[in-house]
């Protein structure tokens, strides 16, 4: 394999990893606040649809991206209301959110499968993108790719360098102590959940506006679930989310390359690789119970109400 092919593989890997980065970073913040939202897939696909609708109707890609994020956040609001205000089981509500989102998007999106869209184009930054190797590798993506990396930096900075981030983590560790210190636990969790929804919506918008770009029923095809796995895989650390997303994208692309090179293995087994790799890494990460205990938000998934504590 020559360098050129390798660079192309890496570029394809980054492009495949972006929706995972967006969604997993969002879910990371949600889980850091102590809430487990399994509805990422549902929020992502609703984001994908609404972004696509706005792009198709107005041609305004920025507006469309924004609406995608808002649509994801709106879905998250439903989740927030049921789990935070009404203290329902988070696992069940998240699952319902996915079923609802997939159904709703298929229902509303019927008229839009036929639309051909001029999607978000690669920037090909002048001068820089024509540099050898790094030009292709670093400077020729579409704007949402850079936004994903910016989001990574912002989330890392927010969680570890700001007071607000510290409070968020405290709420996830021990909502009762945070409450005792005078923080509005429910309000903080709402904000985290909304942020997670917006990020999942952005992931969807990336898929329908930039990656494929098209709208089709069920087009997110399980990426929301992978994003959830990445958060655990990353032991709730943004840096590892980034690495995990790239690794998963890499395995996906690599198995296609292996096929293209004509290797004699049933393709079904190659298609299993990304899932098996995820399981293996999950095992490696969580094998050391201490690591999980240190990093997992202590109150993850447990409903909380200030009158009960």
Partner 1 sequence: MLRLEPRSAPSNLMVYLSPLLAMILMLVVGMIVFTILGQPPFKAFHAFFIEPINDWYGFGELLIKASPLALIALGLAVGFRANVWNIGAEGQLTMGAIAAGGVTLWLQDSTSAWILLPLMFIAGAIGGMLWASIPAFLRTRFNTSEILVSLMLVYVANLILSWLIHGPWRDPDGYGFPQSKMFEANALLPILIEGTRVHAGVLLTLVALVLAAVFFRWSLTAFQMRVAGLAPKAALYAGFKQRKTVWFGLLAGGAAAGLAGTAEIAGPIGQLLMPISPGYGFAAIIVAFVGRLHPVGIALASLLMALLYLGGESAQMQLGLPAAVSGVFQGMLLFFLLATDVLIQFRVRWISKTSTEAAS
Partner 2 sequence: MKKTLFAQRFKTLASSLLLASTLGLAGTAAAEDPLKVGFIYVSPIGDAGWTYQHDLGRKAIEEKFGDKIQVKYVESVPEGAEAERVTREMASSGSKLIFGTSFGFMNPMLKVAKTFPDTHFEHATGYKTEANLGNYNARFYEGRYLSGIVAGSMTKTKTLGYVAAFPIPEVVMGINAFTRGAQSVNPDIKVKVIWVNSWFDPGREREAAVTLMDQDADVITHHTDSTAVVIAAEEKGKYAIAYHSDMSKYGPKAQLTAVTHHWEKFYIDQVQQALDKTWKPTSIWGGVKEGMIDIAPLNAVVPKEVAEKVEKAKAALADGSLHPFAGPVLDQDGKETVAAGSNMTDEVLLKMDYYVKGVDGKLPK
Cβ proximity to partner 1, 149 vs 275, nearer residue? 275
Residue whose C-alpha is closest to residue 29's, from 206, 183, 157, 213: 157
Closest C-alpha to 23, from 185, 157, 186, 207: 207
CB of residue 94 to partner 2, shortest distance in Å: 22
Contact 47, 267 (CB under 8 A): no
Using the rule CB under 8 A, is 2 a contact of partner 2? no
256 binds partner 1 (CB under 8 A): no
Measured from the CB atom, the residue of 198 and 219 that comes closer to partner 2 is: 219
For the bound state, the minimum distance from the C-beta of residue 285 to partner 2, rounded and expressed in Å, comes to 26
Write down the H helix ranges in the chain: 3-32, 40-58, 61-80, 90-108, 134-138, 143-161, 163-173, 175-180, 185-205, 223-233, 238-260, 267-286, 289-295
Q: Give the list of residues 6+ apart from residue 99 with CB closer than 8 angstroms, or none.
A: 42
Would you give the distance in Å from CA 47 to the centre of its chain?
A: 12
Of residues 222 through 251, those in contact with partner 2 by CB under 8 A are: 223
Q: Which is nearer to partner 1, 166 or 291 (CB)?
A: 291
113 binds, among partner 2, partner 1, none (CB under 5 to 8 A by kind): partner 2
Binder of partner 1 out of 78, 117, 198, 234 (CB under 8 A): 78
What residues line the site for partner 1 (CB under 8 A)?
Answer: 38, 42, 78, 81-83, 85-89, 91-93, 95-97, 99-107, 110, 217, 222, 225, 228-229, 232, 266, 268-269, 271-272, 275-276, 278-279, 282-283, 286-287, 289, 292, 305, 307-308
């Amino acid at each position: 394999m020559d360098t050129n092919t390798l660079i192309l593989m890496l570029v394809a890997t980054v492009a495949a990893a972006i929706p995972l980065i967006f969604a997993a970073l969002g879910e990371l913040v949600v889980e850091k606040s102590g809430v487990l939202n399994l509805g990422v897939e549902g929020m992502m696909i609703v984001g994908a649809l609404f972004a696509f609708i706005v792009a198709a109707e107005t041609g305004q890609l920025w507006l469309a991206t924004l609406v995608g994020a808002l649509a994801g956040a709106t879905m998250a609001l439903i989740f927030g209301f049921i789990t935070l205000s009404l203290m329902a089981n988070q696992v069940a509500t998240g699952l319902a959110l996915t079923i609802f989102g997939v159904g709703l998007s298929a229902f509303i999106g019927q008229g839009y499968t036929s639309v051909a869209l001029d999607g978000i184009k690669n920037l090909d930054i002048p001068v820089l993108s024509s540099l050898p190797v790094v030009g292709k590798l670093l400077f020729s993506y579409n704007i949402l790719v850079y936004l994903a990396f910016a989001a990574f930096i912002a989330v890392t900075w927010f969680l570890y360098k700001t007071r607000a981030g510290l409070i968020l983590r405290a709420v996830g560790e021990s909502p009762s102590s945070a409450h005792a210190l005078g923080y509005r636990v429910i309000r903080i969790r709402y904000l985290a959940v909304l942020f997670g929804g917006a990020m999942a919506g952005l992931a969807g918008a990336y898929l329908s506006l930039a990656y494929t770009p098209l709208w089709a029923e069920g087009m997110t095809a399980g990426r929301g679930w992978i994003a959830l796995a990445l958060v655990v895989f990353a032991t709730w650390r943004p840096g590892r989310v980034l690495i995990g997303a790239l690794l998963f994208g890499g395995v996906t692309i690599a198995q296609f390359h292996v096929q293209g090179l004509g290797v004699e293995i049933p393709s079904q087994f190659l298609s299993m690789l990304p899932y098996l790799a995820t399981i293996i890494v999950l095992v490696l990460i969580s094998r050391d119970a201490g690591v999980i205990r240190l990093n997992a938000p202590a109150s993850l998934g447990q409903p909380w109400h200030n009158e009960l504590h």
